[in-house]
Structure formats: C-alpha cells, structure tokens
Chains A and B, each alone.
Chain A
Amino acid sequence: MTYQGLDSSVPVPVNVAPGAAILRRGAVRAGAALRRYGLLAGFLAAWQIGATGGWINPTVFPPLDAILAALLQGLSGGALIDDIAISLQRSGLAFAAAVAIGIPLGLFMGQIRAVEQALDPILQFFRQTSALALYPVFILLLGLGEASKVFVIFWATLFPILLATIGGVKEVDRKLIEMAATFGAGRATIFRRVVLPASVPSIFVGLRLSATTALLLLIAAEMIGANKGLGFQVMNAQYNFQIPQMFAAILLLALLGLTANAALVALQRRLCRWAELSSR
C-alpha cells in the first residue's frame, strides 16, 4: 500500500487524451447544470407542451412562445421600456433612500443601548403595521403621484435594513472588541475597524430582504392609481384580456428581482470574501 492515493480529491492523470479530459469535464458541468436547473426546465417544458396540446387552458396560460413574442414586441416597440424605466426609478429611489437612512441609523442605534431600547418598541410597532395598509394614509398625505408610491416602498424597505443593521452591530463578538481595546483602540477606532466590518454580512441579509420587498411593494403601489410601470402593465393587460402581455410583464418583474438579488450577492462576495472561504 502506498500513501500517494490519500489525496483522492486530485484526479490522478492516467493516460487520458486531452480531448477526452475536456469532454469529461464538460459532462461533469452538464450534470451539475442538469441537477440545478433540470426541474425549472421541466416545468417550462410542461407549460409549453400543456398549452399547445390543449391540456391546460391556453387563454389563461398561453404557450411560452406567445409570451416571449409579446415580450419582444413590447421591448422592441418601446412600450415596455418606459414601464421598466419608471418602475426602476420608483423602486431604486426608495431602496437608495432606505439604504442611506437605514444603515447609518442602524449602526448608531446598535451602538448606543439607550437609544436602541427607547426606539425598539416603536420600530416593532411600525414594522408589524403593513406598509400596504398605510398606503392610503401616504396617499392622503402625499397625493396620488410619485411621492406616495416611492414613500410606501421606502417605508417597507427601511425596516429590514434597519433591523438587520442593528442586529449585526449588537451581535459583534465582545471578545474582538476587548481585543482591540487592549491594543489601545478608542471607541471610534473600534467602530471603524471591528464593529463595521463585522456587521457587513448581517447588513447584506437586510439589503437582500429589502430588495425583494421593494419589488413587492412596487407592484402593489403601481396597481393602485398608476398609469405606467410594470405593475400597472400586469393589471392593465389583465383588464384588456391581453394574457401574453400580462405574463410578459410578470416575467420582466421576476427577471428584475433575480437581477437585483444577483447584483447584491456579487457585491457581498466582493466585500465578504473572508466569510466565503472554506476552512481547509
């Protein structure tokens, strides 16, 4: 027995032609892709076949090619582009405001116990009050225009960011703070060098939650008293019984959500490379 075979994770090169190796690697990747996306592909295929074969009602679930055609037509005609732009503007503005207020406020509140204790009950109360239930109040205050739409999205997105940031700051390992203090670090230095970096993963949990919430509230806000936007398009297409157009707008919303999440995940990977590394 030899000990060379211990490291079995490294494939032992046994006279394989380079072409075959590439093929095998390709097969491994294809297998991984199948495991990950197989079910989704099967679902879409079942939809397409079911709709064209008449097993499901094609007026409610039009075949995928009709939806894609409606999507392309809307995009090339420029009609959907305007909707995308206004929807992105509303949710983007609200999300940016929630980030700009939520993170600094959360960092502050997490640091100072008295402030956190005083504000926590009112925060919990606001958080449990559905933003959608408050939407009529915001409309009364801000009118039916852009301000109330952006504000209701901002309101709903603020809390996940704020609470995640407070949680992150409060859960920083006291032992690390003590360690920094033994090297003579003052409050500000400890905040900058220990508390802030330690809170980043938790802040990202809040950001991703908020991004999802932003899109959710966007649709709801656009379904009430809007005449533009993807949410409006979903409702409008349904009123006019343009079912492929309706699904095209829904599909765009899903893609928007996926893109936002992917962007945040990529940013998180960049900022928290240390947390991703496996311990080997």
Chain B
Amino acid sequence: MSVVEHSRRGEVTVRDLSKSFALNGQRLDVLRDLQLEVRGGEALAIVGPSGCGKTTLLRVLAGLEQPDRGEILIDGHPVQGVGTERAIIFQEPRLLPWLTVLGNVAFGLTVRGLPADRAEARARHYIRLVGLAAFEKAYPRQLSGGMAQRVGIARALTVQPGILLLDEPLGALDAMTKLTMQEELARIWREEKVTMILVTHDLEEAIFLADRVLMLPNERGSQPRLIDIRLPRPRDRSEPDFVAMRRRLMAEFGLH
C-alpha cells in the first residue's frame, strides 16, 4: 500500500485578498486586503465573531469562491479554483447516503479516476486511522454524528492533501463527542503532518489545536491579528498556561 507521503510542503500565502458581497443592494466588505502566511505543516485556527468572514476566507482558500482582488499561492504557485493539494472538511459530514463508509471514503480517489480496488485499499488505511474499521460496510444513516464526521475526515485525508481546510468541523457535535474529536484531530494532524487551517467559533478548540490563531475583527476598521500559541503538546485544557491563553483570547473579544 502506498501511503508514503510524497514531498508536500503545504505552504499557503494569501496576498491582498479582498472579498465583498452585495447585501440588499449594499456592498459589504467581508475581507479587505488580507495578508497571511501559513507555514507548511502548521496548524492555524481562524476565529472571530459571526459575520467576520472566517468561513468566506476558508471557502476562498478552498477555491469554492473567487476573491474580488488578491491571490492565493500554494507552495509559491498561484492557484485558481479547487485543487488536489487541498481537501475540505465541512461542518456537516456531507456523506453520500447510497455509499457505504468505505465507498464514501474512497469517493475522492475514485472521482479522480483511481481504480476501485486501489482507492479502497487506501481508504481502509484512513478508516482505521479514524477508528471506524468495524463500520466499513455501514451506511451513513446507521452512523452517529461523530462517526459520520470521522468518515468525512477520513475521506479528506484519503486524497492525501498537503493542506486540510476545516470549516467548523466539530460545530454540530455534542460537547462530549467534540472533546474526543478534538483529540483525534490533534493526533491526525501530528501523524499526517499536513497543514491544517481550521475555522472555529470555539476559542478553546482553537487553543487546543492551533500553532497560531488568526483573529478576524468584527468592525471593518480594525486589523486582523495573529496570536502565537506557544504551549507544549499534547495540550491540557486545565493547565494554567492554557487557561491564561483562553482568558487572553476572550479578552481580545471583549468577553471579560
């Protein structure tokens, strides 16, 4: 089985990115001249109040939306639209109900024309990685929310992207499942050595997973801020430094 990673760096550069929407005939600037450098293999969390454009930024990075101005470079090359070096995990698992877990995880590869047996061999590896080996033949309707989301994660990993884009991937899960899945994500990120860009509204999740946190402001005037999370891994939510970091981030949002 070839699961050996090819040379991938997964560096993302965002240059002068602007994006606006027309809302009731008014122009609404969601992103304005955004600059961002994401190192290869880094975990970056994007946080901010709702409407700050964090999901828009992720969708532009994914190639699902076109920016008004500016460009995205991956490993130094400008990109347009979707690409094989990026994979997206959505808030909803978005599984195809007529395919089994195996079929869903292999979907990304079979779509690209890989023969089914090879695609399934690689899919099995990632199904094991997310701990669903016993559910290979199950259909999405038979899975719980957390299990379905794991399938979505395995499907994204199976195409072996250099960059994993996550749009509030744990936002719809219950609190208990969420904690387990955060640890799963931390482990997967460590093992797969991918660049991870994660949109979340959960500050604790951002601190738990990310090397840096990008805070997008609500008011259009203020600037986005980048905050380093220099905490040892694996991280412990009850550690004083962790708690202090959470307090600091909450203060940034004026929550304390």
Contacts and interface: CB of A to CB of B under 8 A. Distances in A.
Interface in A229-280: 272-275, 277-280
A180 interface: yes
Contacts of B84: 184
B111 A189 contact: yes
Contacts of B90: 175, 179
A182 B96 contact: no
Interface in B87-117: 87-88, 90, 92, 94, 96-99, 107-108, 110-112
A185 B98 CA distance: 18
> Could you say which of B86, B94, B159 has the most chain A C-beta atoms within 10 Å of its C-beta?
B94
Tell me the dominant secondary structure on chain B's binding face. Answer: loop
A171 interface: no
A182 B88 contact: yes
A272 B98 contact: yes
A197 interface: yes
A182 B139 contact: no
B243 interface: no
Contacts of A175: 90, 92, 94
Given A182-B62, A184-B84, A194 B112 contact: no
Contact of A277 (B63, B112, B142): B142
B230 interface: no
A189 B113 CA distance: 10
A113 interface: no
Interface residues of B, number: 26
B133 interface: no
Given A179-B90, A184-B82, A184-B112, A275 B97 contact: yes
B139 A274 contact: yes
Tell me the dominant secondary structure on chain A's binding face. Answer: helix
Nearest to B84: A184
Interface string A191-221: 0011001101000000000000000000000
A183 interface: yes
A178 interface: yes
B79 interface: no
A198 B140 CA distance: 14
A180 B111 contact: yes
Contacts of B96: 176, 193-194, 197-198
A280 B98 contact: no
A144 interface: no
A274 B111 contact: no
Interface of A: 175-176, 178-185, 189, 193-194, 197-198, 200, 272-275, 277-280
Interface of B: 62-64, 82-84, 86-88, 90, 92, 94, 96-99, 107-108, 110-112, 139-142, 159
